[in-house]
Structure 1
Amino acid sequence: MDKRNNYLLLLIVFGGFLVFGFSENIKGPAIPRMQADFSLNELQVGLLLAFNSLGYLLACSFTGFLTRKYGIKFSSILAFGTMASAGVLIFLSVNYPMLSISYFLMYIGNGILEIALGVLAARVFTKNTGTMMNLSHFFYGLSSTVAPIFATVLMSTKVSGKPLGWHGMYLVMLSLSLLPLMFALFTKLPGDEIKEDERTPFKDFLKDPAAWLIVAILSFGVISELSVGGWLVNFLEKAYNWDIAAASKLLSAFFLTFTLSRLFLGPLTDKIGFTKSVIIFSAASGILTLLGILIGESGALLFALAGAGIAPIYPTVMALLAKRYPKDSDTAVSFTVTMMGIGSVIGNFLVGAIIDLFKNIYTGWYGIESGLVMGMKAGYSFVGVCALLCSITAIALYGVLKRRNELI
């Protein structure tokens, strides 16, 4: 029975990360069609996505409390149920306000799911934690990679002579949440038996310098990771005059090295140690990114290779939290991811601000075209700098943990 339960736990975690990747990355092909159907302008689309980020951060902030009070089983079922319900509401959406509410609910579900999966993985993967954390996040990368393709195919699939469209596509894709939900209903989830007096008080957690260093490490790492998806194609088009097809292929190459890295480098994190792994991998990513900019167009392949370095950061930090706070993983994961979310929003804003700043400076000196190129190079350099700052902060954490004899 225990063996069967363990297999079901793996299905919940891996299946949950698959669903998570799908739900976050099917919007690319869907948003232009939503915009056309409801005659939305760019501001309305921007507001829709902004509310999503708000819902996600809101959910991250309260899920740790829910898990601590009602258990990981409750949080997991709530996450999957919320996402399935959002799929139904998106399917029924007939106007922009209803779509906004439905999307907001979906990202509430995403936020709950991210924390619930992090906590559940921390409790399940007590052995080979780095390997298993990276493997579980590989499933997220896998579904993220194929999600736009699946979404496009589903939207054009005909049922009773009519295409499913984005309404039906969301209903089908988010209904996949019901599968891990069913497993969660009939599976014993670990860790809820921990008593309150065995836990670390939250105020003590906030006073721990290591906890804040971990937040900084994850924030710098995630800014570097997410900024590639948002800015690499734009950079290649404007700095090197690549066409969109060539730029998109290089972005796909980045995600390929990123996904394979999580599949194959996980065991190394267990052997090297989690903090050392973050130092090495994030430094490699930062150096490759900055070298790619210094070399110029002929060094563009280095941007793709940088994906192998930045990919293990998030799951390895989750493994570090699991080992460092075995009885407080709900609090540790919720606090760290919420603060990281705030930091990543600021970081992505800074990329755009740096581009504008240097573009304006160099335009005055060398003209509009040269100003744009220098602005894009300065902004994308920030992606590499964040990876290096992730490594430097990890060195600081290594020093703190070594002094305390708490290295993992």
Structure 2
Amino acid sequence: MNYTTQMDAAKKGIITKEMEIVSKKENIDVNILRQKIAEGKIVIPANKNHKSLNPEGVGEGLRTKINVNLGISKDCCNIEKELEKARVAIEMKAEAIMDLSCYGKTEEFRKKLINMSTAMIGTVPVYDAVGFYDKELKDISSEEFLKVIEKHAEDGVDFMTIHAGINRETAEVFKRNKRLTNIVSRGGSLLYAWMELNDRENPFYEHFDKILDICEKYDVTISLGDACRPGSINDATDASQIKELIVLGELTKRAWERNVQIIIEGPGHMPINEIAANMLLEKKLCHGAPFYVLGPIVTDIAPGYDHITSAIGGAIAAANGADFLCYVTPAEHLRLPTLEDMKEGIIATKIAAHAADIAKNIKGAKKWDYEMSKARQNLDWEKMFKLAIDPEKTRKYRKESMPQHEDSCSMCGKMCSMRNMNKVMKGKNINILREDD
């Protein structure tokens, strides 16, 4: 039986090879997986032209996935450096990489990235349009925007951020409800500016059916962009954000009618006490579609440490229903991340995702922690290193400050609770001030 997309196959009762792979990875019955894909609650972003892909599922009941942003810009346009970041991100088991390139040889970089990446690849076509045509934003036509989307799809991009929710109606709500930080989404601000400069509807909203034609042809998952995401905690859960979310829910249904898979993008900056309610709103208004969040960043005062503010918000968001976390690095709000920034961002986001998986009772999540605790109780340092989320750093810290007694660490020494409890539970004496008998 023929099918066009993973969702089309799922609705027809077909088990694809991608579904089989995800089923084994997630330890979930393949028929349950297929049913949730048919309902739109799980997606498998897998462009037909991405031949090196090792597919992943995103959505209800699955492990929380993480995405890494990278790409070339006018100020930092070294393709090899960005490809090296991609290689390291894949080694660190990031499930997705978004190419946010906005200057120079974007096509060359994108094709190299897709060819070498086993992780799913996402892009934001509106970023690429200005450089692709070498035109000012105002002069790019609706048809030209669509051509960029088709080019990315043809190249093998698995999911694309399409800011279709900021239509003229949403823009009017934004104008009537003043914000502290206006529109902070780069793609959203570009499309808002295009609409204002041309006095026309957002081409991604006006021609959404044509975008669906492209995505159905190549099986591209649409990540419906949150152009009105809050850029400060002051603007969180406001009229603009909620209005756009309502539009995204309407677009989701239109996409599902065409068997195009959908992810919904979300906040943004947000106080901790508003996160759970926002997860509930998205799932309700967007009919259970997978939710992809940037952070949320829970305070605005920590430039240089936003991988931490983001991980706090990400853990709470995913524990309350978010399915996909976009990493944030220490360089957020400051500059293009370095390789080391990227590593820190990945680790922080992986910690958040795993903490949420424990809360969501995802199969196997607690087993990792159980094995680590067992290794700690046994003072099995080598096992601890292997189980650590960052083995390199744990080995480094241990090596930099070796204790006198190897069955302890340099913080507690012979007062180590694990060491002493192991001894006393076996009926042995505990010698702290002198050598053991």
Using the size of structure 2 for normalisation, the TM-score is 0.26
Richer in helix (by share): 1
Richer in strand (by share): 2
Which of the pair has the greater relative contact order for Cα pairs under 8 Å at 6+ separation? Answer: 1
- Larger Rg over CA atoms: 2
